[in-house]
Structure formats: C-alpha cells, structure tokens
Amino acid sequence: MGFRTRQIHAGVTPDPTTGAILTPIHQTTTYVQPSVDEYMSKGYSYSRSANPTVQALELKLADLEGGVDCACFGTGMSAIHAVMLAFLNAGDHAIVSDVAYGGTYRLCTKILKRFGIDFTFADTANADDVAAAVRDNTQLILTETPANPTMKCSDIAAISEISKQSGAVHAVDNTFLTPYYQLPFELGADISIHSTTKYMDGHNATVGGAVICNNDEHAEAVRFIQNSTGTIMSPQVAWLTLQGCKTLSVRMDYQSASAMEIATFLEAHPKVQQVMYPGLESFPQYELATRQASGYGAMLWFEVKGGLAAGKKLMDNIEVWTLAENLGSVESLITHPVTMTHADVEKAERDRVGIIDGLVRASVGLEDTDDLISALETALDQV
C-alpha cells in the first residue's frame, strides 16, 4: 500500500467492542489478569510498560519508516536520551552532528559526559570527517539531517557504511523530513528518531518522541530503556498524534511547496543577506538533498542585512508568523535560535558550526503563501 493509505490505516483497527473508527484512549494504570497462570495473556500488565493507544501509534510509525519496531516516548529529548542509554556505557565514544538541536548538545555535554561518555561533534556533512572521528570505542553515530537550524545535510548512505565498518550503531534524527520525504533505513541507517511534537503531531498540541529500529536486537535494547526509565508516551498524546499522522503527507506537500516560494522570494529580496533552503539550487548541498530525499521540507533560515539588530526587529514586528519555539505545525513559526532553541550552545561552538547571531529560522505552516510572503515583505520594509 502507498504512504497516504498507510498513514491513515497502519497500526489501527476499529474498536472490537463498539466499532469506533478511532483507537480508544486507554487511560488506565493497570490491566486485570484472568488468572496467575494467564498473566499477560492479553499483552498488557502496566501502562509504564505498554498501552494499547501508544502501541497503535508505535505500529503506525514503524510501518511508515519501514522498521521492525517503534518505541514512543514522552518527549523528543527522551527519545534521544533512550538511544544514548541503550547503546552507550561509561568509557564509550559517540559521534554526533556538529549542528544539531540545542537540547541534544546539552544532553551530551552537560549530562552524559559526567558519566564517562565521550562525544565528538563532527561535521557529518563530510563523510571523511566522520571516518576520521571513529575510535576503537565508538559505539554510536548520531546524525541530524537536515540539521537544526542550519539545514546542513549529511550523507546517510555514506555514514551508514562507515558505521557498519566500525561496528557502531547509526541513528538518524529524521524529524525535519519525516518518513514521507526521507527513509533512513533504505539508505543503510539502523535507527530513525523523531520528535513527534513536530510534523507527526503538526498542530502544536503535544510533545512526544519516537525511536524506530531496523532490527530486533536494537529494538529490544530501546524497549528496555523505555520501560526501565518510565519515559513512555501518555495515551492521550498518542491518540492526538495518531490523528495528526493521518494528514502528514497533505501538510508536508503544501508546507514544502509554500517554503519553496518563500525561499525564492527571500533570496531575491535586496534586504536579505542569505537564505538556506535545501530546495534552492544555490543551497550548498542541493545535489545531496535531492538525491537522498523525495522532498525538501518546510524549514529554512535567512539572515537580514544589518545582522542581529535587523533580524530581531523583523521577528519582533512581523505579523501572521508567530515568534515561538517549535516547528512543523500548521501555524508558521519564526525563531531566533541563538536566544531560543540553541541558547545553551556556547557562542564559540555556535560560531564554529555556523549558527550565526542574525540567523532567523522559519517553519512554514499552512497559511496562504501570499499572506506569509506579504507579512515578510512588510517586516523587511521596516528594518
């Protein structure tokens, strides 16, 4: 079946008791067992370990990614954390994209490093840099592609080959493009990670995360962490995310087409210094972005001439666009990463990887494209 069919039907069946077309919200702590000898005969014992509503979402996401299993978590960061805990021990080494969500950087440098895990933040856009960073104790390679917020892309196939040669697990944060546009497993990756808060939900209604694995051994390791740390997604969040998934492709198609128009407009505007969007032929990795994904997504960034002061003025005065953290929602959001999403990344590190002070990150929503462009034009006229 095609993606659009599976995003609606995979993982869910009508409720056997009532025939309800939507999976019920199983808001329960525990499950009554028929007898001691039949313990777990229905597959559930306690909702920290498994819940039917959450399981429906897990089945759906595993199907859409083409994996063997999915574990859903309370937040995107708890999903990232679970992968780290599943495959890293004291004395191990991991390679992480040098441009990644600020929370990922904070987790590695401020928390996990305290427990004797070493991290190299490599330029994963260059496979040679990744290969050079591999050590005998490298157990995990985590790539975020396209990267937040610079949109830098990593060659998933090339890095997956390096991971196989070294024996490391290759995990890809696939949040920006989703399985609708990018399938890491087809390119050799072992794990695909999502902040379901973003495009899977799509409506600014929940926070959640998911880890999809491509083999049973990895899936079992992640499931153990999910149960042991008690970070499973709640049933109400899973239910809302199940509904969001049904419109994923429709939203992504419109948002991406709109993003392309907006990026083209910004690139031609005299007050814009630079624009980064993978769908523009001027994008440094346009060939790679076109080769490994079927779409370019709805995230972009630009810098206004006049730098930080001009960028702040635009963000503080723009209409229609909303100044807020998050991305991937039906509302168009505009963000200043240096003071918002990446504030915990040291300035020297931000400068090294290209997260410049004047960078304006834009998440294109479902509003009329003409209205979004008009709002940008009016705001640019004022800077």
Determine the pLDDT at residue 345: 84
198 flagged as catalytic: yes
Question: What is the topology classification, in CATH, of domain 3-245?
Answer: Aspartate Aminotransferase; domain 2 (3.40.640)
Residue-wise over 138-176: b if at least 16 C-beta within 10 A, else e? bbbbbbbbbbbbbbbbbbbbbbbbbbeebebbbbbbbbb
Residue 337, pLDDT score = 86
CA–CA dist 80, 9 (Å, integer): 27
Of the residues 48, 246, 313, 352, only one is catalytic, namely 48
Q: Where are the alpha helices (DSSP H) in 247-306?
A: 248-268, 286-292
Mean pLDDT value of segment 172-187: 98
* Domain locations in the chain as residue ranges: 3-245, 248-381
The arithmetic mean of pLDDT across residues 79-100, rounded, is 97
- From residue 238, give the alpha-carbon distance in Å to each of 233, 341, 349: 7, 25, 36
pTM, full prediction: 0.96
**pLDDT, tens digit, 9 for 90 and up, residues 270-324:** 999 999 999 999 999 999 999 999 999 999 999 999 988 998 999 999 999 999 9
The CATH code for residues 248-381 is 3.90.1150.10
48 catalytic? Reply is yes
Residue from 69, 123, 173, 190 carrying the catalytic annotation: 173
What pLDDT score was predicted for residue 176?
98
At residue 342, the pLDDT reads 85
pLDDT of the residue at 358: 84
The tens digit of pLDDT for each residue in 309-362 reads 998 999 999 999 999 999 999 999 999 888 888 878 888 888 887 787 888 999
Tell me the average pLDDT of the chain. 96
Indicate which residue of 44, 69, 92, 198 is catalytic: 198
Structure tokens at 299: 């995230």
Quick: pLDDT tens for 185-222: 999 999 999 999 999 999 999 999 999 999 999 999 99
Mean pLDDT of 96-112: 95
Task: Evaluate whether 3-245 and 248-381 have a shared fold.
Answer: no
Active site residue 277: no
Is residue 366 predicted with pLDDT exceeding 90? yes
Q: Token pair for residue 377?
A: 């034009």
From 96, 114, 239, 76, select the one nearest 154 (Cα to Cα).
Answer: 96
Q: Please check the confidence at residue 32 and state whether its pLDDT lies above 80.
A: yes
In the chain, the DSSP E strands lie at: 69-73, 93-97, 118-122, 138-144, 169-173, 191-195, 209-213, 272-276, 299-304, 322-323, 333-335, 359-363
The string of pLDDT tens digits covering residues 43-85 is 999 999 999 999 999 999 999 999 999 999 999 999 999 999 9
- Catalytic residue, from 60, 98, 101, 361: name it: 101
